[in-house]
Structure 1
């Protein structure tokens, strides 16, 4: 079995390489115009859009696993430029259903003969997805929806996951360090998520847990699963109909207040993530419906996740900092979560956060202010210091997609205000204020103790300095080998100067015999090349690429 999976993975790798070869060549030429040599190429937004469309076609051609990967990439601005995110966001999980004869084999292997198990069973799938398909049926007189895993999908997914792993070293050559970090996390997250999504027994458990958390809440409807006709590859649920949440016209016809509906959806997800710690992680419009009473119906819990208590606390702190427009607290929280590099330029990030908050609140922003910040981030997206740890990736996906749905319902929707109101009602803001007070009191206590301890120590230091017995050890952290490169430049320059001087002297004092001067010049020439490379090389004296103004100016000049 392992050998067959490997053989299939090798074949799939060749197909993937063939599909992506034009993009690989294009990215290689971005680094070196003529692949092996030449200057970097500047890539304009129109070129990125064309490449994103090529990537979209390739993902569709490669099938279910890569369609899922494209959907995940469309929610990861820490990996892809905005043009790619926009194009891939149109990628829908809408794949033609497998033949009924194939799906029937899976059904009967799990549940037994279809006609004996169900009262009625519609042979035409009502929806097809990359990993499964859904049929309508009747079970013990109740209308049900039966989700069946796509036949043979397990072997294909395992082979494709190996291909993704094998492809990572190639892709890392074309992206920055921060994005490589996020990309590796994405690969791990993708493998875990897609395997979980194929396990319908896990989906049923998650569905039941989330359903129990909202028991008695009339604002949300989650289908009730049927244990007797469910298994690892088949999930039978109560059939709950509704209008697709993105169908604004139909929602208006039902008389449902769309602003209240958007607020309801946002509050439901806040409860899932902040309070319950378990959440539905695939809230695209195909998985959300609206009933006539305004209740929101949730479908498809295959993609769902959990949030640990540390991340829950940090999310609360982040929302409160946003509500208070405390930029320093926002940046501190992002750093503590591992989302923002500690080396990021705080002033630039502060400007970006201020703009983001104003945009989220729907405030009017001066055009010159937008242009100023765009110039700061222009052409440096690959070195943007935001990255996503594995435990936050699904949360960001949910936040991004939910915000899009809410804005579709109400273009003036202010999710910051809704989140602030929710946190206040649940008492989180008061708890945070109390925590700040306690931390301030603790800090004051430590400061008072230090005031008592420091003077004697300071007196001892001054005594040693007066006696001339004070020594100081200085340790320089040189991760980028700056001193080593400076030393090389100094030595190369010294040897070049000596060689040039020797050549001049030999030529001046022995003009009738130019051979010694030519030999000296030949020995000096390598140092010219070495010194030129030391100053010209992109890996010269530069820190690890950071989101700084100097870095932005350098990139624009290039």
Structure 2
């Protein structure tokens, strides 16, 4: 028997197909200009921006699940081009509030009558999001914030997740094999993420864990949850009003030191990611406020991330390499984290890194921002397919958003200087130096051992060469089929030459016999067409993209 969720999913599938139909046609024409025939067409930056705007509008129209999907896609430069990432980065989780009667039904189903559960309850929400909305109430004489899951959201999300899963085969037709792998993983990851975000019991656990991690830190405040008035669909917590962190005029009126505030925010996130391994993953200004005495208030821990110890170590190494302008160190760290393929063209990526650092550098040699480097990396990520781990994507997004908030507070804010000071104070830079010294010692030991092992082996090789008994096996990697393409062109060329000569000879011997001439010329024409198509194809031979300073400036202007 077909369930109600399945019926809703079938209907939603048709709605989604209708919304995305213009994009489906556009992507199909990229492969076949006239849909069923014709060559491919070049996709310009302007076309990508236009399509990204269409995608944004479609996601907003489709509602909560797809808004969340768009936000997740905005953190995945391994799946979408940079133009899409930039446009989707503006996607706000802000939708009209559900009617009070519907929210009240959710509250009473979980906690009983509202009048008995709370001393007073304001039925106008103070904030609304795609999955839930927040109200102000009174409990045991204190003001509290009550987060209520949006009515009926569970069935809608489950239906939409089925639609996304059914849509995967269609999406795979328009992307490469590497990105298809990432996209398929993203569908499973998204289902897990959105279900976690709807589980307010898990959010309360995360809130308490981060609160404990900063128990001795007086630079931030995290609301205290109230367990007896909370469950998986309702989260009641301490009400903490404050001034929005991007309200510069109000902060100045309070006399808050904005540079100190930005520094505290950066250091808090460094501790979350590098030290604790669990972090608040949605640091946009709507989720950050400031108390009258300059402490930072964190709201909404529904979106959170975890970092395992290996990635923590690599993030530290990345920050240190950036501070030291060590391009090889940056590339090695990105490769070890899985962000770049080990087979990536290091020369090209090294040029990108060097130009990004040079372009972002100020008067002081360390006056540049890591976000500008990440922008260049993200732009190149789409050209060099990779598999980006989910939590690493969240870390990249958090780093960019946090730096944006910090620069709003202080236009001269130096991200690298703060990160370097933090790593130095916590002893990470000394550990890094110690690892280098240990590495040098190990390398010296290996070199000494090689001095004894290599000469005898070299002597044997030279003896075999002297006896003309040395065989050298060469293995040529051709993952892109370049040799196959060249062989086909060579064969086509031979047949074309033979056919052309044959046709000329037949015509010279009997110019009036057009049937014979045509019989010889037709196959020659077919071969000529095949040879022409092999040169027209964009697959196979392709030059390595060259990144120059002018190229980067043009891409930034675009």
Same fold (TM over 0.5): yes
What is the total number of aligned residue pairs between the two structures? 542
Shift of 1:185: 4.3
Determine if contact 1:147/1:234 at 8 Å carries over to the other structure.
Answer: yes
**Equivalent residue number for residue 492 of structure 1:** 492
**Equivalent residue number for residue 234 of structure 1:** 234
Q: How does 1:49-448 map to 2 (within 5 A)?
A: 49-176=49-176, 179-358=179-358, 362=362, 382-384=382-384, 388-448=388-448
Determine if contact 1:73/1:80 at 8 Å carries over to the other structure.
Answer: yes
Q: Secondary structure at the match of 1:236?
A: strand
Determine if contact 2:6/2:159 at 8 Å carries over to the other structure.
Answer: yes
Change (3 A) 1:134 1:111: same
Determine if contact 2:279/2:306 at 8 Å carries over to the other structure.
Answer: yes
Change (3 A) 1:189 1:109: same
Change (3 A) 1:464 1:354: closer
Determine if contact 2:480/2:540 at 8 Å carries over to the other structure.
Answer: no
Shift of 1:131: 0.2
Task: Give me the TM-score of the superposition, normalised by structure 2.
Answer: 0.90
Shift of 1:490: 1.8
Determine if contact 1:197/1:303 at 8 Å carries over to the other structure.
Answer: yes
**Equivalent residue number for residue 540 of structure 1:** 540
Shift of 1:453: 0.8
- Please say which of residues 406-415 and 356-365 is displaced more in the overlay: 356-365
Supply the distance in 2 between the matched residues of 1:94 and 1:277 (Cα, whole angstroms): 29
Determine if contact 1:344/1:547 at 8 Å carries over to the other structure.
Answer: no
Determine if contact 1:178/1:383 at 8 Å carries over to the other structure.
Answer: no
**Equivalent residue number for residue 370 of structure 2:** none
Which blocks of at least 5 consecutive residues in structure 2 are unaligned?
A: 366-372
Q: Secondary structure at the match of 2:312?
A: helix
Supply the distance in 2 between the matched residues of 1:523 and 1:405 (Cα, whole angstroms): 67
Shift of 1:78: 4.2
Change (3 A) 1:356 1:274: same
Determine if contact 1:75/1:400 at 8 Å carries over to the other structure.
Answer: no
Change (3 A) 1:119 1:360: farther
Supply the distance in 1 between the matched residues of 2:464 and 2:24 (Cα, whole angstroms): 64
Change (3 A) 1:241 1:357: farther
Change (3 A) 1:241 1:361: farther
Supply the distance in 1 between the matched residues of 2:358 and 2:473 (Cα, whole angstroms): 48
Q: Deviations over 1:431-487 (max 9, x none)?
A: 001001101110111111111111111222222222333222222222222222222
Q: Secondary structure at the match of 2:3?
A: helix
Shift of 1:266: 0.4
2:469 aligned with 1:469: yes
- Please say which of residues 100-109 and 321-330 is displaced more in the overlay: 100-109
Change (3 A) 1:533 1:185: same
Change (3 A) 1:2 1:276: farther
Supply the distance in 1 between the matched residues of 2:498 and 2:270 (Cα, whole angstroms): 71
- Please say which of residues 1-10 and 319-328 is displaced more in the overlay: 1-10
Supply the distance in 1 between the matched residues of 2:204 and 2:221 (Cα, whole angstroms): 15
**Equivalent residue number for residue 453 of structure 2:** 453
Q: Deviations over 1:11-57 (max 9, x none)?
A: 11211111121222233334443333445545555544443333222
**Equivalent residue number for residue 369 of structure 1:** none
Task: Give me the TM-score of the superposition, normalised by structure 1.
Answer: 0.90
Supply the distance in 1 between the matched residues of 2:361 and 2:256 (Cα, whole angstroms): 24
Q: Secondary structure at the match of 1:105?
A: helix
Shift of 1:126: 1.4
Change (3 A) 1:48 1:494: closer
Supply the distance in 1 between the matched residues of 2:53 and 2:467 (Cα, whole angstroms): 74
Q: Secondary structure at the match of 2:241?
A: coil
**Equivalent residue number for residue 370 of structure 1:** none
Q: Deviations over 1:155-184 (max 9, x none)?
A: 111221222233334334444555545444
Determine if contact 1:65/1:130 at 8 Å carries over to the other structure.
Answer: yes
Change (3 A) 1:456 1:539: same
Supply the distance in 1 between the matched residues of 2:314 and 2:428 (Cα, whole angstroms): 12
**Equivalent residue number for residue 368 of structure 1:** none
Change (3 A) 1:364 1:526: farther
Supply the distance in 1 between the matched residues of 2:359 and 2:245 (Cα, whole angstroms): 24
Determine if contact 2:351/2:547 at 8 Å carries over to the other structure.
Answer: no
Shift of 1:235: 0.8
Determine if contact 2:246/2:285 at 8 Å carries over to the other structure.
Answer: yes
Q: Secondary structure at the match of 1:148?
A: strand
- Please say which of residues 166-175 and 415-424 is displaced more in the overlay: 166-175
Shift of 1:529: 2.1
Q: Secondary structure at the match of 1:391?
A: helix
Supply the distance in 2 between the matched residues of 1:528 and 1:489 (Cα, whole angstroms): 10
Shift of 1:525: 2.8
> Superposition RMSD on alpha carbons, in Å?
2.8
Determine if contact 2:106/2:148 at 8 Å carries over to the other structure.
Answer: yes
Supply the distance in 2 between the matched residues of 1:378 and 1:127 (Cα, whole angstroms): 32
Q: Secondary structure at the match of 2:353?
A: helix
Shift of 1:356: 3.4
Supply the distance in 1 between the matched residues of 2:524 and 2:355 (Cα, whole angstroms): 55
